[in-house]
Amino acid sequence: MFKILFSAAALISLFTTPLFAMDKVGHSNDCTSCHTFSITEAAELLKGAGGTVKSVKPAPIKGMFEVLMEKDGRQGVVYIDYAKKRLMQGLIIDLTTLQPVSAHVPEQSQQKQVTSLDTKTIPLENSIVMGNPTGAKKLYVFTDPDCPYCRKFHAELKTLAKTTSDVAIYIVPFPLPMHPGAYDKARAILEVKSLDVLDKAFEGKEVPKPAKDASKAQVDANIKFGNANGISGTPTLVLPDGKILVGGRDAETLKKMLEEK
């Protein structure tokens, strides 16, 4: 009992010390007064990723910088920790609105905050179908074979396809600008439209080199469509009614969502 009381007292003391509270005497609440990251530093640190660093701002979450990058006319953000040793890809989601938040929203004018789209406009000719091609339930997935979240989510999609006989899952390759190798993998997927090649790409295995100009046009069309409809990160899901969801879900949750639609 004494140890428990002592631990509780120690925690209370810790959380009420000026150091933890970061008062005027200690660490300032303004993180940028101590932590800085210039465009030049960011460009040097990220030179291996390709693209151009356009801007650096404090991220919507403390302890990280948000870096706006541009490549081939497309913009995207990555996050660097204050130690400048780790990079994070993906979106930061506001739990109240369930929408992406970014320090660079004004600069990313092409990324409209939309919540739905007309599924008839999705370029399905530039996709590959998992599950039942004639299934009554349809799910559209914009995904990147080099995105770590997409790779994990791909396994859930395979489970959904196996456990739900009437679902057609349209995989729309959507390579992000911060993944230099994803563009050619997306082309390879569309050239052969083989589920085996699709799985290999998401497992990080070698896939055939793209050889047709048509596949470049297909991937470019997917990118153009995504940019025009507010799709900026992966994975992004579009439900049968056109509702847009950012981020993956487990197979059981997806199954229930499709049944509701």
CA atoms within 13 A of residue 171's CA, in its CB half-sphere: 30
- For residues 128 and 99, membership in a common domain is answered with no
pLDDT attached to residue 106: 62
- For residues 86 and 133, membership in a common domain is answered with no
Could you tell me the CATH number of the domain that includes residue 80? 3.10.450.70
- Answer whether residue 1 is part of any domain: no
- For residues 217 and 143, membership in a common domain is answered with yes
- Answer whether residue 233 is part of any domain: yes
**Does the model's pTM come out above 0.85?**
no
pLDDT attached to residue 129: 98
Yes or no: say if 248 and 149 are a contact pair by the CB < 8 Å rule.
yes
- Structural domain containing residue 40: 27-109
Angstrom CA distances, 211 to 70, 98, 123, 191, 215, stand at 26, 40, 21, 8, 8
Q: How many domains does the chain have?
A: 2
Q: H or E segment at 255?
A: helix 251-260
- For residues 36 and 129, membership in a common domain is answered with no
- For residues 45 and 134, membership in a common domain is answered with no
- For residues 223 and 129, membership in a common domain is answered with yes
Could you tell me the CATH number of the domain that includes residue 214? 3.40.30.10
Task: Give the phi and the psi of residue 66 in degrees, each rounded to 5.
Answer: -105, 125
- Answer whether residue 7 is part of any domain: no
Domain boundary residue, one of 76, 109, 142 = 109
Beta sheet of 74-81, edge-to-edge order: 52-58, 64-71, 74-81, 87-88
- For residues 123 and 105, membership in a common domain is answered with no
Per the document, the length of the chain is 261
Yes or no: say if 198 and 128 are a contact pair by the CB < 8 Å rule.
yes
Q: Digits of tens for pLDDT over the chain (261 positions)?
A: 434 333 444 444 433 444 334 444 444 455 655 789 999 999 999 888 777 898 999 999 889 999 998 876 677 888 999 999 998 887 788 888 777 788 887 655 444 567 899 999 999 999 999 999 999 999 999 999 999 999 999 999 999 999 999 999 999 999 988 788 999 999 999 999 999 999 999 999 999 999 999 999 999 999 999 988 989 889 999 999 999 999 999 999 999 999 986
pLDDT attached to residue 82: 94
Bridge partners for 101 per DSSP: 92
